[in-house]
Amino acid sequence: MARVYVSIGSNIDRDYYIRAGIAALREHYGIVSLSRVYESVAVGFAGDHFYNLAAGFDTEQPVRVVAASLRDIERQHARDRRAPRFSPRTLDIDLLLYDDAVVNDGALQLPRGEITRYAFVLGPLAEIAGAERHPLIGQSYAELWRDFADKEAQPMWPVEMGVA
């Protein structure tokens, strides 16, 4: 059984798509642990603010099956992968970690590089997986979050959605 962590985000009809994404993860994987939901400004483009959170679940599916399943969930929720990388989106579910797997083959990167670059990824991940260790860096996610230098440059704030 593998422990998987994902980042979930939306800046189009945020309440609806965040709730729908969580429901789809629960339908596919059963029990899903969730961080709080955070609001943050769009990164890389001018657009509406995002809602972001992290989720964790256990699965016996191989990593590539999980990745394909996440893309299917996005597609079922009107995600357009033809849009530019930095653009508005209905639902974005990024595979961050699959146990301590290290993969970088062009199609899949684990651990996902955004973990150490973006507050809206690392902060929520540290909330639900603080004691876990980054497989390449060796530090816990709580330590990485404590030492994250760009917190002020990448502000985020919790929002109450009642999705726990």
* Residue 82: per-residue pLDDT: 67
The arithmetic mean of pLDDT across residues 121-143, rounded, is 98
* Residue 150: per-residue pLDDT: 85
Using the predicted structure, report yes or no on whether residue 87 has a pLDDT greater than 80: no
106, two tokens: 């062009």
- Conformational region of residue 59, where left means phi above 0, alpha means psi within -120 to 50, and beta covers everything else: beta
Q: How far apart are CA 22 and CA 26, in angstroms?
A: 6
* Residue 78: per-residue pLDDT: 73
Pick from 82-86, 99-103, 111-115, 139-143: least confident: 82-86
Name the average pLDDT for the chain. Answer: 93
Nearest of 37, 35, 55, 52 to residue 97 by alpha carbon: 55
* Residue 88: per-residue pLDDT: 82
pLDDT band at 89, cuts 50/70/90?
confident
Cβ neighbourhood burial of 150 (10 Å; 0-12, 13-18, 19+): exposed
Beta bridge partners of 56: 5, 33
Global model pTM greater than 0.85: yes
- In this predicted model, what pLDDT tens digit does every residue of 14-54 receive, in sequence order? 999 999 999 999 999 999 999 999 999 887 767 889 999 99
Measured in degrees and rounded to the nearest 5, phi and psi for residue 71 equal -65, -40
